Structure 1
Amino acid sequence: MNIKITGSGSYIPTEKVTNLDFAKHSFLNEDGSLFPYSNEVVAEKFLEITGIQERRYVSDNLLTSDIALIAAQRAIEDAKVDPETLDYIIFAHNFGNVKHGAIQADAVPTLASRVKQKLRIKNPYCVAYDMLFGCPGWVEGVIQAQAYIKAGMAKKCLVIGAETLSRVVDIHDRDSMIYSDGAGATVIEATEEEGGIISHASATYATDEADYLYFGNSFNKDLDEDVRYIKMHGRKIYEFALNNVPNAMKLCLEKSGYKITDIKKVLIHQANEKMDEAIIHRFFKLYNQTPPEGVMPMSIHKLGNSSVATVPTLYDLIINGKIENQELNKGDVIIFASVGAGMNINAIVYKV
């Protein structure tokens, strides 16, 4: 028995937001003072570091659970499975449903239960729950789905990663330019078909690192101090990721029995182009190798950082031929990898 992704789907929001759209923002320092550079300079440096040219936001009428439903329906259709036969729905997100213009998150009932309801699944033994694991949530959800299947507790699982980060950003913080919205979903099931999940590795670093990503006040001191926004210590996250993600990927690869030369693609969390490139070079350097051209597909340039949605969305786009000069073929050995709030890291070696 092998455990494979048998169907995938994604939802790319329709609202395009370019770097130039931030020209009217009043960017501030953490102490509330005016940022010393013009917005044009900010946008130029931002593009140079992150590689992000534009990102996608959901339209005002949509919620995280709405876009997750669309991705889930597409994954179920792609897998050609009856939703009633799903044993688990694992929904990775971080902020629940945040309505446009609202300041409060809504996660009761769970977003997984809402998706199950809208899928019209009547089977009570299809267990639906939410996964809070930072940006690596979808990857961790796949790892949990595999565990349920290996333990004989499930045959089919739906794993979703969706987020609407545009609803929780501080518009006075330059880091708000990184974040975006999106949804990706996969059906994971036991199959006699060759390939699937070969190995995995997960870790949580919390002693000193837990608050590298956190909820904090706006840099605009005139705004309500009781309203919180997503915040990060960017330099600390960059150094943490560079020092730890390659080692987690190496551990995962060694567990798999495959060699670095067997890896065709690395589908890594789309956090920051410069950071991801540094991680991939550090990973291959552990084997005295340099990354082959095209080994790390990127979607961040047009889609930004949609947290848990980046990896499943990237996979779905490649599978459907929507990333230029990138493809996955049967038998290819790939690595899924992610890093994010917690601080959490994980990786999966997977054979297509």
Structure 2
Amino acid sequence: MNIKIIGTGSYIPEQNISNFDFINHAFLNEDGSPFGYPNEVVIKKFKGITGIENRRYAESNQMTSDLAFLAAEKAIANANIDKETLDYIIFAHNFGDVKSGTIQSDMIPSLATRVKNKLNIKNPKCVAYDILFGCPGWIEGVLQANAFIKSGMAKRVLVIGAETLSRVVDDHDRDSMIYSDGAGASVLEASNDESGLLSYESATFATDEANFLFFGKSYNNDLDQDVKYIKMYGRKIYEFALSNVPCAMKACLDKSGIAIEDVKKILIHQANEKMDEAIIERFYKLYDQAVPKDIMPMSIHDLGNSSVATVPTLYDLLLQGKIENHEINKGDVVIFASVGAGMNINAFVYRN
């Protein structure tokens, strides 16, 4: 028995923020000193490395659980199921609900419970809980859904990935331009045919790598140093990802028994265009093959990095035919993969 995705949905906030909206930001070095060159140069370098031109921010009256509800509602409708038949709601995020203009995270009750409430699901046996697993959280939620369904603990599971990273960034850190807001959701159930999840890999590297992403003070020394923002050691993450993600993907694919030539698409966490391209190139190099054309659809150019939302959103957009020059058809083999805070890595091979 496999498990398969029977419905998808995503919510992309309407507020579009272009790179040039950062033209007047006072970007600083870690020690608080100015760069010494204009923001036009910062933006040009940023675009060349990350591929990001635009990103989406939630409206001021929206929080992470609101975006998640909108994506979940679409996924349930797309699956054409009775919402009361859901056995679990698994919600992957990192920072909870953070109201616009505040610095405090709110996770009581859990965001999964809030979504269940917004969906007006009455069934008390629909268990709702959150997971914190960095950017790979949605994929990890799918792996947990797989375990629940295969063990007989559940028949249907709703897995959500949502985040409002725009609320937890340091405006004086140029890395703030990477992050965005969004939500993606999927409904999963048992598959009686050859479709579904075929194999998976998951790992946490928590020695030297544990704090590559962390909460740290603003680069502006005049601001309250006790207020923390999302920070990262970008070069270390890049090197870590290139060393470990391709190997995890290969282990996963080899376990599935699927030949590399039969993989139609690779949906990788939309973290950084250059890093994602390097990961895919190294992955194919492990098989002594060149990267096929159009193997890796991307959404980061216009949507930015919305953490746990990037992979389920990308998959939903592909199924809707909204990613130019890319499509997924019945029977296609797809690799899903992600890397993020923890440092966590996971992947699964899936037959559509």
- If the TM-score is normalised by the length of the shorter chain, which range does it land in? over 0.9
Q: Which residue of 1 aligns with 2:288?
A: 288
Instruction: Establish whether residue 61 from structure 1 lines up as the match of residue 94 from structure 2.
Output: no
Q: Which residue of 2 aligns with 1:337?
A: 337
TM-score under structure 1 normalisation?
A: 0.99
Using the alignment, how far apart are the partners of 2:260 and 2:327 within structure 1? 19
Q: Which residue of 1 aligns with 2:202?
A: 202
Q: Which residue of 2 aligns with 1:148?
A: 148
Name the amino acid aligned to 2:302: K
Using the alignment, how far apart are the partners of 1:173 and 1:265 within structure 2? 34
Using the alignment, how far apart are the partners of 1:114 and 1:193 within structure 2? 34
Instruction: Establish whether residue 49 from structure 1 lines up as the match of residue 49 from structure 2.
Output: yes
Using the alignment, how far apart are the partners of 2:332 and 2:55 within structure 1? 30
Q: Which residue of 1 aligns with 2:255?
A: 255
Alignment of 1:94-243 (within 5 A): 94-243=94-243
Q: Extract structure 1 runs of 4+ deviating beyond 4 A.
A: none
Shift of 1:338: 0.1
Q: Which residue of 1 aligns with 2:81?
A: 81
Partner-residue secondary structure (3-state), 2:105:
coil
Partner-residue secondary structure (3-state), 1:7:
strand
Using the alignment, how far apart are the partners of 2:351 and 2:191 within structure 1? 13
Shift of 1:74: 0.2
Partner-residue secondary structure (3-state), 1:215:
strand
Cα deviation 1:245-268 (Å, max 9, x = unaligned): 000000100110011111000000
Name the amino acid aligned to 2:92: A
Name the amino acid aligned to 2:51: G
Instruction: Establish whether residue 350 from structure 1 lines up as the match of residue 350 from structure 2.
Output: yes
Q: Which residue of 2 aligns with 1:38?
A: 38
Cα deviation 1:151-188 (Å, max 9, x = unaligned): 01000000000000000000000000000000000001
Using the alignment, how far apart are the partners of 2:314 and 2:133 within structure 1? 19
Q: Which residue of 1 aligns with 2:19?
A: 19
Using the alignment, how far apart are the partners of 1:103 and 1:163 within structure 2? 15
Instruction: Establish whether residue 318 from structure 1 lines up as the match of residue 315 from structure 2.
Output: no
Name the amino acid aligned to 1:166: S
| Gaps in structure 1 of 5+ consecutive residues | none
Cα deviation 1:200-248 (Å, max 9, x = unaligned): 0000001000100000000001111111100000000000000000000
Using the alignment, how far apart are the partners of 1:160 and 1:80 within structure 2? 17
Pairwise CA RMSD of aligned residues?
Answer: 0.6
Shift of 1:290: 1.0
Partner-residue secondary structure (3-state), 2:138:
helix
Shift of 1:291: 1.0
Moved more, 184-193 or 282-291: 184-193
Shift of 1:193: 3.6
Name the amino acid aligned to 2:50: T
Using the alignment, how far apart are the partners of 1:193 and 1:270 within structure 2? 30
Using the alignment, how far apart are the partners of 2:96 and 2:246 within structure 1? 30
Name the amino acid aligned to 1:101: G
Name the amino acid aligned to 2:100: H
Partner-residue secondary structure (3-state), 1:190:
strand
Shift of 1:192: 1.9
Partner-residue secondary structure (3-state), 1:245:
helix
Partner-residue secondary structure (3-state), 2:106:
coil
Using the alignment, how far apart are the partners of 1:187 and 1:39 within structure 2? 43
Name the amino acid aligned to 2:137: G
Name the amino acid aligned to 1:75: A
Q: Which residue of 2 aligns with 1:305?
A: 305
Using the alignment, how far apart are the partners of 1:173 and 1:226 within structure 2? 16
TM-score under structure 2 normalisation?
A: 0.99
Partner-residue secondary structure (3-state), 1:247:
helix
Name the amino acid aligned to 2:321: G
Shift of 1:122: 1.1
Partner-residue secondary structure (3-state), 1:323:
coil
Partner-residue secondary structure (3-state), 1:187:
strand
Using the alignment, how far apart are the partners of 1:290 and 1:36 within structure 2? 41
